Amino acid sequence: MTAIHLSVTEFRRNVSKHLERVVDRRQRFILLQRGRPVAELRPLPVGCTLGELEKTLRMLPRFTEAEAAAFETELRAARPLT
């Protein structure tokens, strides 16, 4: 996504509006002071992408056979299948 260049003065005048754009529209801003970039305002990353899911799952610790069996037993006891 391309960043929107915005003066610090304009940002200060409408800080709520610009923060809403970051949160709701996931827009990114480069703040300018005297025409020079001084800061970046961007949304924080949320979760992982589908492409990153396999890598994330591979990083999780593996159950032993006994742990997997115990986990399955606990799941069935907590939420009986209908």
Residues 6 or more apart whose Cβ sits within 8 Å of residue 63: 71
Residue that the structure tokens 């610009």 belong to: 18
Residue 53 lies in a domain: no
Q: Using the structure block, give the residue that is written with the tokens 């610090």.
A: 8
Please tell me the predicted confidence (pLDDT) of residue 4: 95
The reply to whether 15 falls in a domain is yes
Per the structure, the count of domains in the chain is 1
Domain membership of residue 15 as a residue range: 4-41
Q: Which residues pair with 29 in a beta bridge?
A: 4, 41
Is residue 31 within 8 A of residue 13, CB to CB? The reply is no
Asked whether residue 66 is assigned to any structural domain, the reply reads: no
Assess if residue 27 is contained within a domain: yes
Contact of 31 with 6, CB cutoff 8 Å = yes
Within 13 Å of residue 2, how many CA atoms lie on the same side as its CB? Answer: 2
Residue 6 vs residue 57, higher pLDDT: 6
In a domain, 31, yes or no: yes
pLDDT for 32-62, tens place per residue?
A: 999 999 999 999 877 778 888 888 888 888 8
Residue 61 falls inside a structural domain? no
Does residue 19 lie in a domain region? yes
